[in-house]
Amino acid sequence: MRIRKAICILLALTMLFSLTACGGGAASSGDASSDPAGTGATATLGLGSDPVAYLTDGNGMFIQAPEGFFKVYSVSELDKSSGKIIEIDPTKTYQTIDGFGASITDTAAIVMSQMPKEQLDEAYLRLFDDEQGIGLSYIRNCLGSSDFAPEYYTYNDLPQGEEDYNLEKFDFSHDLKQIVPLTKKAMEINPDIKVILSPWSPPLWMRTTWAWNKADNRLRRECYGVYADYLVKSIKSYQDAGVNVFAFTAQNEQFASTPWPSMIWNWEVMSNWINDYLGPRLDDAGLGDVKLLAGDHNFGYRSEIESIMAGSMEYVDGAAYHWYEGEPEEMVTTYENFPDKYMMVTEASSSRGAPRTMVTNITNKVIRGLRSGSSGWINWNLALDHNGGPTYNDINIHCSALITCNTETKTITYDPDYFALAHFSKFMQDGAVRVDSTDTGVDTEYNLVNVAALNKNGSMAAVFTNKSRKDAELCKVVVGDKVIEFTMDTRTALTLAWDGNL
């Protein structure tokens, strides 16, 4: 049940004027409990077993580290005069970590659907199964087309000059052919997958100009109501098809004018539209439990995204960020200003390049995102073909994906994005909590960064990345009365996982 708008705004103002900053760049739970993950257990936490280590460096991606890579010894033997001392405190907790994932864009659905069944079945296990694969638990899908589609479409496309205010010609059949079945295929492997939906453009007849890529294109004032109805109908179409929708965003990248489907919103207009149209119609349709996220845009638009949140507190449940502009640390302010709201990074795609560099760049940003309060991370395309597409007019075919589906040889390969997310998703289980660890970012210019998490069963995982091209780093990780010592080579990512129950 949503509380009334006036109360929400009062609470928002109270939070804005009573912020408390904590270590690690995010507000702590403040509970130094022996059961910080809420498991009901009372065991002391620490280094209950020697860790396993998975490494991405010049010798491979996400491979088990060679024998002798690290050593474990008593904290009484710790020499603090050398190396980076990283202390992990599992009793000091931050946000819940919900998971990691990618997007089944129209392009991804097309290329995956061309793969032999045996190949795709194996790929899905390696993507979504937590034992045979890396355990991805998020899927973000577009409501209509994005830039990654061979042709642009919505669910209510009409000839120019026609309108449909009753949405009598609403047609969800496009997504039912490939996108929805592929989403449900992932849900069969992991029933707890969370699906986030994002609209990029309304139907052209609702826009101020009849063009997908017209600069400063906006929603016609007389279409405020019908567009809210359109989004409600889109979400319900997913649900009717058997997909449980966890959250959706009001608009993908609402402040950007692009040469693909998009739409510009002023933050004040967006906030008022949510309050007057979208929010009430979601409630009327029984969709109040589907999280509505503001933003779905770059870190650099934090101020505008927070303004939308503050102006529509009754209906907005959190914020969604992209990584293309600004730095992850900008999310700290959102986390502190809105401690009861949800926050995710919902899109990140790098340009294809040297695999080792790609992995370390991605893991670096994911670590910093989690340290800044994000509950998870979603990369962009789940799959692309061997040419980086297909897309309309070959737009953005330089982008990366988790897997490449070669539609000529009918083979699937696993790309750096896959191995980067594996460093987190394989060992940070859904419902884990981030725990305190020494921040090594600022004094290394964010080359050496780390994040640690505690799972519900008491197991723990920590990810470290050294993005530097010239300086290796000696790391001494203190967990309770033990030290894990290892050297992070240049452009290296490392995951340590261990039983935290003593």
Residue 229: pLDDT over 50: yes
Q: What is the CATH number of domain 99-430?
A: 3.20.20.80
The pLDDT, as a whole number, for residue 44 is 76
Q: Locate tokens 């934090």: which residue?
A: 302
What is the band of 14 on the pLDDT scale with cuts at 50, 70, 90?
A: very low
> What tokens does 469 get?
């091209």
- Rounded Cα–Cα distance for residues 259 and 65 (Å): 44
- Quickly state the pLDDT bin for 217 (edges 50, 70, 90): confident
Q: What is the pLDDT of residue 453?
A: 98
Q: Measured between alpha carbons, how far is residue 465 from residues 215, 361, 362 in Å? A: 39, 9, 10
Q: Say what the pTM is.
A: 0.91
CB 295 within 8 A of CB 305: yes
CA distance 118 to 407: 15
DSSP 501: B
**Of the listed ranges 317-326, 347-356, 428-437, 455-464, the one predicted with least confidence:** 347-356
Bridge partners (DSSP) listed for residue 450: 464
pLDDT at 429: 94
If we measure between CA atoms, which residue out of 169, 143, 161, 167 comes closest to residue 210? 161
Helix (H) or strand (E) holding 18: none
Phi, psi of 324 (to 5 degrees): -80, -15
Beta strands in 98-182 (DSSP E): 99-103, 138-143
pLDDT at residue number 35: 56
**Domain range list for the chain:** 31-94+436-499, 99-430
Which string of DSSP letters, residue by residue, matches 402-442?
SEEEETTTTEEEE-HHHHHHHHHHTTS-TTEEEEEE---SG
Contacts of 188 (CB under 8 A, 6+ apart): none
Q: Give bridge partners of residue 449 from the DSSP assignment.
A: 465
Query: Hey, what CATH topology would domain 31-94+436-499 get?
Result: Immunoglobulin-like (2.60.40)
Query: Using one digit for the tens of pLDDT, what is the confidence trace for 311-352?
Result: 999 999 999 999 999 999 999 999 999 999 999 999 999 888
Task: Give the pLDDT confidence of 44-97 residue by residue, as tens digits.
Answer: 789 999 999 999 999 999 999 999 999 999 999 999 999 999 999 999 999 999
Q: Does residue 56 contact residue 492 with C-beta atoms inside 8 Å?
A: yes
- Categorize the per-residue pLDDT at 36 as very low, low, confident or very high, splitting at 50, 70 and 90: low
Take residue 268 and report the two structure tokens written for it: 């004040």
Distances (CA, A) of 96 to 15, 87, 419, 438: 20, 20, 23, 19
Pull the structure tokens for residue 394. Answer: 């070959």
The answer to whether 203 touches 147, Cβ cutoff 8 Å, is no
Give tens-digit pLDDT for 376-410: 999 999 999 999 999 999 999 999 999 999 999 99
**Residue 204 near residue 162, CB atoms below 8 Å:** no
Is there a contact between 139 and 179 (Cβ–Cβ < 8 Å)? no
Secondary element (H or E) of residue 297: strand 291-298
Query: What is the pLDDT of the chain when averaged over all its residues?
Result: 91
Q: What are phi and psi of 387, to 5 degrees?
A: -105, 0
**pLDDT band for position 43 (50/70/90)?**
low
